[in-house]
Chains A and B, each alone.
Chain A
Amino acid sequence: MYKIVHKEILSEVILLFEVQAPQIAAKARPGQFFILRLDEKGERIPLTIADTNRDTGTITTIFQVVGRTTREMSKLNVGDGILDMVGPLGEASEIENFGRVVCVGGGVGVAPVYPVAKALKEAGNEVIAIIGARNKELLFWEDKLAAASNQLIICTDDGSYGQKGFVTQAVEQVAAAGKIDCLWAIGPMPMMRAMAATTKPLGIKTIVSLNPIMLDGTGMCGACRVSVGGETKFACVDGPEFDAHQVDFDLAMRRLSYYKEEEKRAEAVANCQCGGDGQCHG
């Protein structure tokens, strides 16, 4: 069991858990993720590592409630345990001194971009962090991103906080003010796709972190395959970070939606009278 030692409700749908996982904490590097299974009947889902604390042996993950597993997880409290956690998984970000770099976090993607920004700043880069969300309520970790960057730009779609507009517009402004040597963009697929479309004509090297469906997370099953530069790659062992300008986002988005019907059914069963044994939902 991996014990939850801290829980924060960051917004109505976004939660933060700090979990006791000393081995993962000791080894995790920016860009990597882990897979958890809540209980014996649970599914394996990948989540991002937003922070690690080697002194306390804990890792921090931030997740959005999007389905049955994340909803069940949101009900756990400090002191509760998670049955299985395996990680770190995936290749770490390639951190070097690029010069002037931009780190963009969209929505819940603010969490995984934080360790990347922090490492880039420590490596000597000038880091411009851009974080965005639909509205102020959904924004979190402004303070941490401010500390991990030289400049922080906040965007909300509705203008309820920071500047009104999308993170892509903020990137265009930053690019107009000076050369961007490298850019990380982590967030929902449509946001990463839009970012790739924005930076490609500007010739900015852009890295995205993909979050496909995964099972084992160690290169055994191929559930997480994505097309990058026309070649099939396994996000769990070849990624999760890829050159944004090579990624087939449309394919990646379609693959993410393959189990929509089953996800609905799993949620429906959780909320019905039969107690989840499928009597009333087949």
Chain B
Amino acid sequence: MPRLIMEKYAMPLQPAAERVQNFTEVALGYDQETAVAEAKRCLECKKPKCIEGCPVEVPIPQFISLMKTGDFQGAIRQIKAKNSLPAVCGRVCPQESQCEQLCILGKKGEPVAIGRLERFVADYQLAGSGDDVQNQLAKKVITKSKKVAVVGAGPAGLTAAGDLAKMGYQVTVLEALHVAGGVLMYGIPEFRLPKAIVQQEIEAIKKLGVAIKTNYVVGQLATVDELLAAGYAAVFIGTGAGLPYFMNVPGENLNGVYSANEFLTRANLMKAYRFPEYLTPVKAGQRVAVIGAGNVAMDAARVALRLGAGESSIVYRRSEKEMPARHEEIEHALEEGVKLALLTSPVEFHGDQKGNLTAMTCIRYELCEPDQSGRCRPVALKGSEYKMPVDNVIMALGQGPNPLVGRTTPDLELNRWGNIVANEANGITSKAAVFAGGDIVSGAATVILAMGAGKKAAQAIDQYLKQKI
């Protein structure tokens, strides 16, 4: 038996100084040789733990085993049977807290780079080398007469749609924006998740027989009840996160204060980084401050640098240890020159006569003893206020639920924040034939958790429709 290699093969990256000047992908992906070598690190445990960490049940040891012999075709077939968006997951899943966290190798050294391997085979197929996988999956499509409507073409909706189509249902996805993909298109930047790849994966889902209607706002063009009356036997709601949170402090409606959703939608969905060729503008002035420290905050701070901001800072009221973003994202951001202003939070924004932001008053915090939740509660230090000049502020504080479906579906139970109440295990809501999952249920979370919820709901919808006969 060969000696164990305790470290992951490194992911080749665009050098920081170079990549901060462009919007092309930061992580370049393994080549074939490295992918096989990394796959060979897998011990093929008798009782593999990694699968338990995957919300969409990817058969991890099986696909990695096939990769060892160079059978990438076989590997992608294994993955695609369970996961409709592997090229997305391979890039944006927090594997370190999911599958890779449970990898036995991780006890002594680094776990197998499961995410990078998934990305490799997904890209291998998208590059045209494995097209028949989709055709084989597509052979089985539409064997059932029942129609299912999926509201929202984000990670939850696309996963539910793909799975339901594989079960044979006629699926129609209704998307409010002009393009499918949800947060994968408007939120996550091109340099982390190329939009062409998202669209290729969506094309593959369409090949399964899924119809996607864009520019279709449920709650306006049709209510959930109208969809049910129109012949859909079940409805899955995956409308995602909506209304961005602001801080409720003076001056936050000044020009130059963005929500992360707006800033990223301009840059990503509308391609404002190519203004004026693309007509949507976005501003990232000399000094940009991003409030918050999650993945969305890192994305916004890095986009700001690429748009030409001289300085881009993360402003966060806890310390580096508590930053909720993935370690990898923080590391990449710091390499690119993003600054951290920790234990700090704005209390007021100031503008000029035109109403344009010029500065913010911040207050410093210190962390006290951890509370019951285990997190240190930040306490504002009286008299520590100071003024920080700033041209743009991006609020990355999360978001509440979108109100449109809730408002127009009176018998759908919502919690006090307006999220849809649904069983975590199966997406069942208070309304018959209506299922929900993703951020509209959980509040803002990750792509993969939304996908997991879409998968569970698809299984529950299948059971529900079988019983209904």
A134 close to B (CB within 8 Å): no
Complex CA gap A189/B398 in Å reads 31
Prevailing SS type, chain A contact patch: mixed
Instruction: List chain A residues, Cβ under 8 A from B215.
Output: 84-86
Instruction: Tell me if A68 and B221 are in contact (CB < 8 A).
Output: no
- Report A83-127 CB contacts with B as 1/0, cut-off 8 Å: 111111100000000000000000000000000000000000000
With contacts defined as CB atoms under 8 Å apart, how many contacts are there between chain A and chain B in the complex?
A: 127
A255 partner, pick from B248, B255, B277, beta carbons under 8 A:
B255
A232 close to B (CB within 8 Å): yes
Instruction: List chain A residues, Cβ under 8 A from B265.
Output: 215-216, 220-221
* A266 and B259 in contact, given A216-B176, A221-B265, A276-B276 (Cβ under 8 angstroms): no
B279 close to A (CB within 8 Å): yes
A27 close to B (CB within 8 Å): yes
B279 partner, pick from A69, A219, A226, A277, beta carbons under 8 A:
A69
Instruction: Tell me if B280 and A44 are in contact (CB < 8 A).
Output: yes
- CB contacts under 8 Å to A, within B292-316, are none
A37 close to B (CB within 8 Å): yes
- Report A241-271 CB contacts with B as 1/0, cut-off 8 Å: 0000000001100110111001101100100
Instruction: List chain B residues, Cβ under 8 A from A263.
Output: 281
Instruction: List chain B residues, Cβ under 8 A from A88.
Output: 220-221
* A219 and B404 in contact, given A89-B217, A225-B253 (Cβ under 8 angstroms): yes
A254 partner, pick from B214, B244, B262, B355, beta carbons under 8 A:
B355
Closest residue to A215 on the B side, CB-wise?
A: B265
Kindly provide the distance from the CB of A83 to the nearest chain B CB, expressed in whole angstroms: 8
* A215 and B266 in contact, given A221-B259, A232-B253, A266-B276 (Cβ under 8 angstroms): yes
B337 close to A (CB within 8 Å): no
B403 partner, pick from A222, A223, A237, beta carbons under 8 A:
A237
Chain A count of residues within 8 A CB distance of the other chain: 47
A23 close to B (CB within 8 Å): yes
Kindly provide the distance from the CB of B452 to the nearest chain A CB, expressed in whole angstroms: 22
Instruction: Tell me if A218 and B281 are in contact (CB < 8 A).
Output: no
Instruction: Tell me if A234 and B178 are in contact (CB < 8 A).
Output: no
A43 close to B (CB within 8 Å): yes
Kindly provide the distance from the CB of B307 to the nearest chain A CB, expressed in whole angstroms: 12
Instruction: List chain A residues, Cβ under 8 A from B253.
Output: 225-227, 232, 251, 255
Complex CA gap A257/B222 in Å reads 34
Instruction: Tell me if A220 and B404 are in contact (CB < 8 A).
Output: no
A218 partner, pick from B176, B222, B259, B279, beta carbons under 8 A:
B176
* A218 and B404 in contact, given A89-B217, A269-B276, A276-B276 (Cβ under 8 angstroms): yes
Instruction: List chain A residues, Cβ under 8 A from B354.
Output: 254, 257
B402 partner, pick from A23, A218, A255, beta carbons under 8 A:
A218
* A222 and B244 in contact, given A69-B279, A237-B403 (Cβ under 8 angstroms): yes
Complex CA gap A281/B276 in Å reads 9
Closest residue to B275 on the A side, CB-wise?
A: A262
A223 partner, pick from B178, B246, B262, B279, beta carbons under 8 A:
B262
- Report A40-51 CB contacts with B as 1/0, cut-off 8 Å: 011110000000
Instruction: List chain B residues, Cβ under 8 A from A227.
Output: 253
A24 close to B (CB within 8 Å): yes
Complex CA gap A259/B354 in Å reads 12
Residue from the set B177, B258, B270 with the largest chain A CB neighbour count within 10 Å: B177
A190 close to B (CB within 8 Å): no
B176 partner, pick from A86, A276, A277, A278, beta carbons under 8 A:
A86
Instruction: Tell me if B276 and A278 are in contact (CB < 8 A).
Output: yes
A86 partner, pick from B178, B256, B283, beta carbons under 8 A:
B178
User: What are 18 of the A-B contact pairs (CB < 8 Å)?
Assistant: A27-B220, A41-B277, A89-B220, A215-B265, A220-B243, A220-B244, A222-B258, A222-B259, A225-B253, A237-B403, A251-B355, A255-B355, A259-B283, A262-B276, A262-B281, A262-B283, A266-B279, A278-B277
Question: Which 10 residue pairs spanning A and B have beta carbons closest together?
Answer: A254-B355, A262-B281, A221-B262, A222-B259, A86-B215, A258-B255, A84-B178, A43-B279, A43-B280, A222-B244
Give residues in B with beta carbon < 8 Å to A. Answer: 176-178, 186, 214-217, 220-222, 240-244, 246, 248, 252-253, 255-256, 258-259, 261-262, 265-266, 270-271, 275-281, 283, 354-356, 399, 402-404
